[in-house]
Amino acid sequence: MWGLIDGSVTIPTSTDADKMADWEMKNGRIITWILDSVDRSIAVGLTPHRTAKAMWEHLQTIYQQSNAARLYRLEQDLVNLTQGDDNIQSFYSKIVTIWTEIAMMDPTFPNDYKIFQTMRESAQVRQFLMKLRPEFEHCRAALLNRSPTPSLN
């Protein structure tokens, strides 16, 4: 089905009715999935497009963010994140979600990846500890004074 969206499967040009019927069924199914997956206000803007590929390209043009913009937003979310009223586990889940998405944008480092990963994990421990509520200051101090600093695990 993805082939209809990425263009590797094209509209049949032959007079083969079976191929055309198969393509139309798949195209219609994908269009239905797309329209059912977006807000009504967005779906209205998709109605002039008659193929799933055209709809997908329209959505990409309007909603695709560059990695720099997404990374900026994630780092902004990370800076603004605090434990607040969350328990430790809920707060940890929120911060790990942001870290995971940031990590997915990392370039590949064939040789020095292990060093990079160790540095990132160390920074994440510090980020997590600095965002805990003040009542955890004694735990924070105890963990930061250990050598080596423990992992989040």
Residue 120 and residue 56 in one domain: no
pLDDT (tens place) for every residue of the chain, 153 residues total: 888 888 888 888 877 888 889 999 999 999 999 999 999 988 898 989 999 999 999 988 887 666 777 888 899 999 999 999 999 999 999 999 999 888 877 766 666 677 878 888 888 998 999 899 999 999 988 888 888 878 888
pLDDT at 9 (0 to 100): 85
Same structural domain for residues 27 and 77? no
- For residue 83, the model assigns a pLDDT of 94
Same structural domain for residues 20 and 45? yes
133 and 83 both lie in a single domain: yes
Structural domain count of the chain? 2
Does residue 117 share a domain with residue 98? yes
CB atoms within 10 A of CB 83: 19
pLDDT at 108: 64
pLDDT at 133: 92
50 domain-assigned: yes
Q: What pLDDT is recorded for position 1?
A: 87
- Please list the alpha-helical segments (H only) found in 1-153: 2-6, 17-37, 40-46, 52-63, 67-80, 88-104, 113-130, 137-144
Residue 37, pLDDT score:
92
Same domain flag for 73 and 134: yes
Residues 41 and 25 in one domain: yes
Residues 53 and 77 placed together within one structural domain of the fold: no
- What is the domain extent for residue 19? 2-63
